[in-house]
Every structure is written in structure tokens, then in C-alpha cells.
Chains A and B, each alone.
Chain A
Amino acid sequence: MKFGVVVFPGTWSDRDCLRIVGPVLGQEAVSIWHQDTDLQGCDCVILPGGFSYGDYLRAGAIARFAPVVGAIRAFAERGGLVLGICNGFQILLEAGLLPGAMLRNANLEFRCQWVHLRVENAATPFTRRCRPGQVLRIPISHGEGNYFADDATLDALEASNGVLARYCAADGSITPEANPNGSRRNIAGIINPGRNVAAMMPHPERCGEAVLGGEDGRLIFASVIETLAERSHAALAAGSR
């Protein structure tokens, strides 16, 4: 399977993403420059963490206009898998590919720490290797990860099972104390109704190797790989018919 990792000039999780899908999980992985519109035939596009164009305005507010984002929008409309992580989440919100917005963390601090996440929807291309309700341990690293949307939007999101994961305590309970940034309803990750565009603030690419303190992040990428393998089998089967 071929993964594309988008590189804005201020991106810094690109190498970590390339590593986990490449050397760690053995897939083909390429960088996609922000000025490019050619997605190089990738099966899944990752928008990684960082500060796209400095993000002095609002995180992702300028990046949504980048040529590559137009290509990603078209790719998503064709059903391509898009995963936004951290800054990638912010960009997907600004681009309108996912609902809601990011505010500064409620504690007004940048936070880099391990958090627990409860998988709310394990029936997606990005979470299918998780058990429903499984508690993952994954680091966050952001200053603007306070997910906000109005009640109607949140209700619609929940009604469509669009909440991918919530910040939780180690035992899986959803508590205010377990919420590291003030996100509404402890939301840490969401997915679109088409189930092909997903985003999360935590960094699964930082915990795909035991020496780094955890391997739960692998589950996200392994889910995508499994999905893509299934799709390509289906395509092959369709072709041979």
C-alpha cells in the first residue's frame, strides 16, 4: 500500500509518519510537497503535525488554501482515505472536510503528554483493528486542540457515529480531569459520514514502537493497511469477474 505524507514548510511530524508506515510497518511511503497537486497515486494521504505556515493566525487557516489541499479534497470526494493528525486535524477543519473548529487549549498551555483515548467507533477504516471501547495510550502535543462545535453539530456528529475517540481516564471513563485541552464532550478524533476522512489530535505515529513507550499507535495505521488491502482484493476480484 502507498502512503503519502503531506509536507508544509512548517510540518514536523512528516518524518515520524514516514517512519511508522515505512520502515516500521513495511509500506511504501512518499512525501507530498504542499505546492503539489499530484498525490502520486497514494492509497492514503496523511496530513501530519506541525505548524503548516507558522500558524500565527489560526492553525490551518492559511494551509486550507494550499494547492495540495485542493487535490486532497478531490481525492476524498473519490473516496480516498485521508488521515489528519494534530495540525492535519486543524487543517481538515479549516478546509471544511470535517465539522467544527479548534480553540486554544483551555489551560492556555501547549501540552505534550501521554493521554488515554477511548475508541468510540471501531468500525471505521482507521480503527477497525481496535475493539469498541478499547482504551489506547497515545501522546498529544499541541496548543490548539480544544475541539469546538455547537450542540447541533455535535449531536449530528454523535448521531452519525462520527466520534472516533474521546479523552478518557485509564479505566475508560470519560471525565473532565481526563480532558487535556477542554475539547467539547472530550472529543479527541472524528470521522466524516463517508468514513474516509478522519482526524485526531493525538499522535499515533509517536507510539508505534515499544522503545518509545507504547505501541498503541500502530493500531490506527494497521487499520488503514487492512482496509486498503481489502479494497485492493475487492478491486482485483471485481476486475477478474
Chain B
Amino acid sequence: MPADTPPAEQLAVPDQRALDEVALTRAEYDRIVALLGRAPNQLELGLFGAMWSEHCGYKNSRPLLRRFPTAGPRVRVKAGAENAGAVDIGGGLAVVMKIESHNHPSAVEPYQGAATGVGGIVRDIFTMGARPVALLDSLRFGPLDEPRNRYLFAGIVGGIGGYGNCLGIPTVAGEIYFDASYSGNPLVNAMCVGLIEEGQLIPARAEGEGNPVLLVGAATGRDGIHGATFASVELDEASEERRPAVQVGNPFTEKLLMEACLELRGKGWIVGMQDLGAAGLTSSSVESAHKGGAGIELDVLKAPRRESGMTPYDVMLSESQERMLVVARAGYAANVAALFARWGLHSAVIGQVIAEPVIRVREGERVAAEIPTRLLTDEVPAYTREGIAPPELAALWAFDPRSLADLPDPNDALMRLLAVPDLCSREDVTRTYDTMVGANTLVGPGSDAAVLRVRDANDRETGQALALTTDGNGRLTYLDPYNGGALAVAEAARNVVCAGALPLALTNCLNFGNPEKLEIYYQLAQAIDGMAAAARALETPVISGNVSLYNESFGRAIYPTPVVGMVGLIEGRAPTPSAFQRAGDVVALLGELTGDPATLGGSTYLAALHGIVAGRPPRLDLDRERVLQRLTLDAIAAGRVRSAHDCADGGLAVALAECCIWSGLGLEGGAALPVAVGDPLAATALLYGEAPSRIVISVSPERWDEMVALADAAGLPIARLGTVGGERLRLAALLDVPVDELAEAWRGGLARALGRGPMPA
């Protein structure tokens, strides 16, 4: 059929309601008509709506994302080239990783929203031919004293565990934070990490005219239609009605799909594979055809369906989970089908690769849609705006900690801080996740970074381990978007450094409000600039990522929340623990020990104990950060460091308390501190201020002098705080609390916030 034959169902000019349905503007519609040279029919309009959505097309963020550094000597698959990025770790192995959001689905249907978020990111990894080895989750919720937030919390945590536990992939790390800005719009960012051997990469490409295109896995239903566009609008009263836009997951089918796809590697039967995620069959076929410089013709009648009466529109835009598009080599479709059948999975040849670079959708003989793939990919509009700094920033920065009245006693403050939901133990959550399956978890949840042993395809240990973490602080990014973005990268890198790992690369999820609002756009642009600067300085290229905009409910935006997932590499030695190890070891702070009240700006202390979110967070000095991380790694490599723990949320006192609680050992902190007696504000700042670029270390006494010499040579401050030992956390005249009391406050925090007693063991 010639390409210029007008497809059926020519549509009159759609009204605003019809455009809203697919989240396109009038101007975008006009542009589509101009590009096509005719009006699109309803199905074609749906395809444009999905592919031009922020979720698929990144139309608001694409120009900004180009600011990220993406190259590096270890980068094997760059951001955007495949479903996830990859970095080389030597020995013919590469790490594949990506993080992705599932915020809006989780807001209306928390269990399935979170579950399918896990499912989607896992498919991104095994679609490439990599075996998933770890999952991480970065979550944000509104305060737990609201029943709706408790419902979302229970559902989301349940969905993550329910899906991930069934797959046999350990959930090893993540973060959970709470703030009123996330009420009604929780954040669910799921990250998956995989390992792939050289030469095993399966590209997400469709090429070779006449090659059969198979749809594999679950049958296609009506669930998830408009999921991509749903993710690209704000949440409001009508959102509850969008519940049908949320997909329902089946982790067992995902497991089958994973094993079958991994078995396909190296057989030479296929040219490419692409999972069906947002915008389902539409985006998978369009994107893989576009990458292969080819087209795809498919017949919706050949797609296995869950129900009768489904229209081409339903089939093309369904986001039914656990499906895969496989492009086989001509003559091998039967082999592929037999392999999937062995795993109990259906497959059907639904079309073929064609030379013409178009997506042609047939319903039997009838052509239901035909669009050049370029129009759905390269021609997605890109919007660049000039952001405006949120006007409230000036007032927020003007906050003076000296205005604080009634500073609590430092001991009481510590007890209360350790119990707040942002800082307390996450064990009640993490023990509902399988953290150990795979027998590689050297360090599970509850440290600076999780650490996984690396084994090659022949089950041989390579002597390497991966350190994994996620990091992001919405409050700090709200108060200073550039700095917040930079801090997310720096802290993630610092976390893996504390485990003794060299940071290699990062993936990121940008959770922001509506970018059409110029203050939000400013936050987005600034945060990206900060992240890019830190990624350059720390030599951790961005190898993958995801953007989640329109995170607003009832017109109120979430805190701008960039989340960074970082991978680091440990070679030839055990992971460095976060907790103190041995009584008698010297405890010290690497980095600035300061009582400057300004460091309280944006701190957890201010937010949690005074209810104040204000102040200008201390600026990150990237040179200092780089020196700190390098020095710490050098000292670890030389065997001078017994433990290392990032000093960040909650400040020095909380970092020290954690080192004590995790080890059951106290701190005899007798050293003199740079705080005048009788200056409670300076004492508070020293204990709870959040100056960046700091690490708490413990060092055996024999190595202490060498450690000091090393720090001096690097020009990095090092402050001796005391020695490990006893049963109390004592710091000069400022702190003196029994460790078991600290531990009790910390352990029971989440259960108390959820309004239930401590869980039975």
C-alpha cells in the first residue's frame, strides 16, 4: 500500500477535550498536521500523544539533559542508546543500570503502581541481555500521621516486596524520606542493576527487511491505556478516575520472561528486543524501528488479547505488563516461539520489519495508522524556557538560626532526631524485602552503600564487588536547586567511597513539578546544572536516567527531588564497614568540624525539631569533595581506615550515633571541640549542622599518625573526636547518652510513626 493513501477514520479537527485526553496542546496538534501533511485519525493522534508525552518524548527536559556528562573511559553503553547504560568493570564484564519513576500510578493504586515500577525497570535490564543482580528503591511520602499517607506507604512498600521477592532479585538498598510536599504525590523510583558479559548485549533495534516481529509474554488487555500521558499531567480530583490507567503486575510472568530472554542470548536467532513499557506496543515498535533505521508493519488482530472487542487504539496504547517485542531473524521465529513456550509463555508473530521508515498499523487488511517513525521520535517538540528563581527563595535564605528560641538540650535533641521517620531505622521495611537471594549480598540495607560480590558467567568470583546506593534530598534542593543537585551526586559518590569503592557512574531520576511553570523550570535547570558539575568533578558520567515531571497534586508541587543512583567498584579487598569495629580505635571527622550556625540551614534538625524549612544550605565545594573522596579511598586502600560513614542527614551527632548503634560500641569523646562553652547555638550547629563533604572514620591507634599525615598532605582538615569504647556516646561536654537508649529510639521510630507498637521479632 502506498504511503500516501490516507488511512481510514479521518478525524475532524479534535476539540480541546480530545486533545486533553492525549495531553497535546493545540499548537502541537497543528504541528502534527503540518508534519503529516494531513490530519491524523484518532489512532494516530493517540500514537502522537503517547510518543510526544513528557514520559516518552522528554519534550521539556531533553535540551537540559544534554548538559550531563555522558562519556568516560569505562562507559560502554551511553545514556539513551539502549534501555539502560553500561560501564565496564574489566574482565569482560559490564554493569548495566537504570533508575525510573512510577510516581503517578503509585499515587492512585499504590501496590500495583510500585509493583509495576519494579517490573518495568527490571525489564529494561534483562531486555539488554543483562542478568539483574540488585534492586534499589528511593521513596518519598507525606507525613505518616495522615491516614492516606499510611495507606500509600503500606501499599507501595508491599508492592515493591511483592514483586521483587517473587523474581529472585535482592532488594539491597534505597531510601525513604517524608515531607508534606509529597502528600498525595508520593515518589517511587526503582533502580535495577545487572551484569552482562562482553558481546552479549541485545540491542533494542528492529532491522532487516522481512524479519518477523514477535509479541511475547502476557496477553494484551485494556489496562494502562494512556499511562504515558497520565504520567505527564498533574494529579487532581479526576486522578482517581485514572485508576484504569494503572497497570496490574504479574511477577511470575516477569520471571518467566526474564529467564526466557536471558536464554535467548548468544543463540543468533534474534536481531533485537525491546520491552513494552510506557505507551506499550507503540513506543516499543516505533523506537526499535527508528534505532534500526527501518520501519515496522504490524497487525493488531494478531496480538494475543485478554478480551474481545479491543480496538486498534486499545492494542497500540495498552500498557499491559510483562510483554516483550522480539525481532527475530527470518526463519527463526519458530525457534524463538519454542523457547518461550518451554517457559510457558505465548508468542505471536504480529508483523515484520519493513524498509520504509514508518510505523504501519493494520487491523487485518485495513491500514489503521501510518506514521513515519521520525515524526514520533526526532520530531518530538523540545521546549526550552527561561526559568525564574522562585520568589520565596530570598526570604528563605534570609533565615537566621540566631532567631531560634528554646534550643533543646543536645542529648534530648539527639534522642528525638534518631526517632524521626527521616532518620530512624528502616528495618521494619527492609526485612519485608528479600535482600540476600543470589548469595552475593556482602552488605545489605542499613549502611552507606549495599555491596554485592561479582561473579562471572562461570560462577567464578572476580575479586570485585559493586557498591550501590541512591541519594537525593528534596528539602535541600528546594532551598537551593543547584546545590541540591550537586549534593545528590556528591553524597551518592561519598556513600560508595565510604564502602571502599571507586565511584564509576550514575543513573538519575528527576522528580519535579510542572515544568511549564517557570519557577519549576528554574529548579529543574539549576538542579541539572548542579548535578552535571558534580558528575564532572567526580568523574562519574551519567549513563541512564528518567524524568518525572508534573509531580503536583491540587496545584502544589513536590520538593524538587533529583535522585541519584551510583555504582562503585571495590577490587581485591573486603567492603569497608560503616559501623565502629573495635574498642580503642581513634574516631575522627574528615572535613570541616564547625560550629557555624549557618550550617543549620536546611538541616534535618531544623525541619524535624523546629518545623522550620529555611536557610541557605551550606554550599558544596567540589574541589574539597574530590579531595575528601580521594583521600578516603587512598587511606582505605592502604589499610588505614577501620570504618567510614558519611556525615550528612542529621549532622555529626547522628552520624556518630549510627556508628555506635550499629556496632553496639560507645564513643569516649574527650577531645576539645571548637565551640565556646556557653554558646548553645554553636554547640547545636556543631552537632546537627549539615556542612557537606565530611566522613566519620575510625582508625586503629597505630595508624593514627599516618592518617593525620595523609590528611595534612592533602590539605584536608581532620579532627580527632575520641576513641571507640564504653556503652555511652560521649562527645566532650556536649553529648552523653547510653548507646542502648539511642538504639531503642532509632529502632522503634517507624513503628511509632505508623501508630503501631514495635513489631514482633
Contact = CB atoms under 8 A, between A and B. Distances in A.
Nearest to A20: B439
A196 interface: no
B441 A212 contact: yes
B647 to A, nearest CB: 26
Contact of A141 (B253, B259, B434, B459): B434
Contacts of B344: 9
B759 A107 contact: yes
Given A19-B459, A23-B459, A212-B442, A53 B252 contact: yes
B431 A112 contact: yes
Contacts of B759: 107
A183 B287 CA distance: 51
Contacts of B432: 109-112
A189 interface: no
A16 B442 CA distance: 14
- The bracket for how many chain B residues form the interface is 20 to 34
A110 B165 contact: yes
Contacts of B434: 110, 112, 141
Interface in A195-219: 203, 205-206, 208-209, 211-212
A16 B459 contact: no
B373 to A, nearest CB: 35
A160 interface: no
Interface in A126-176: 139, 141, 143, 176
B161 A110 contact: yes
Contacts of B431: 109, 111-113
A19 B453 CA distance: 14
A112 B436 contact: yes
B501 to A, nearest CB: 16
Interface in A34-55: 49-51, 53-55
Interface string A51-74: 101111000000000000000000
A166 B514 CA distance: 55
A240 B375 CA distance: 81
B168 to A, nearest CB: 2
Interface in B545-572: none
A132 B431 CA distance: 30
A15 B133 CA distance: 12
Interface string B3-42: 0000000000000000000000000000000000000000
* Max count, chain B CB within 10 A of own CB: residue among A110, A176, A177: A110
Central interface residue in A12, A19, A49, A177, by most chain B CB within 10 Å: A12
A141 B255 contact: no
B433 interface: yes
Given A15-B438, A107-B760, A211 B459 contact: no
B167 interface: yes
Interface in A1-48: 9-13, 15-16, 19-20, 22-23
Where chain B touches its partner, the secondary structure class is: loop
Interface string B591-602: 000000000000
A211 B256 contact: no
A9 B166 contact: no
B761 interface: yes
Interface in B401-439: 431-439
A225 B507 CA distance: 45
B439 A177 contact: no
B131 to A, nearest CB: 10
A54 B168 contact: no
Given A23-B459, A51-B255, A141-B434, A12 B439 contact: no
B435 to A, nearest CB: 6
B177 interface: no
Given A9-B344, A111-B432, A112-B433, A19 B439 contact: yes
A212 B439 CA distance: 7
A205 B439 CA distance: 8
A12 B437 contact: yes
Contacts of A88: none
Given A110-B161, A113-B431, 15 more contacts: A12-B167, A12-B255, A22-B459, A23-B460, A51-B252, A51-B255, A54-B250, A55-B252, A107-B760, A109-B432, A112-B432, A141-B436, A211-B442, A212-B439, A212-B441
Interface of B: 161-162, 165-168, 250-253, 255-256, 259, 343-344, 431-439, 441-442, 453, 459-460, 574, 759-761
16 contacts: A10-B166, A11-B168, A12-B168, A51-B166, A51-B255, A54-B251, A109-B431, A110-B162, A110-B165, A110-B432, A112-B436, A176-B760, A203-B436, A212-B436, A212-B441, A212-B442
Q: Give 8 closest A-B pairs by Cβ, nearest first.
A: A12-B168, A54-B252, A16-B439, A112-B434, A141-B434, A113-B431, A51-B166, A110-B432
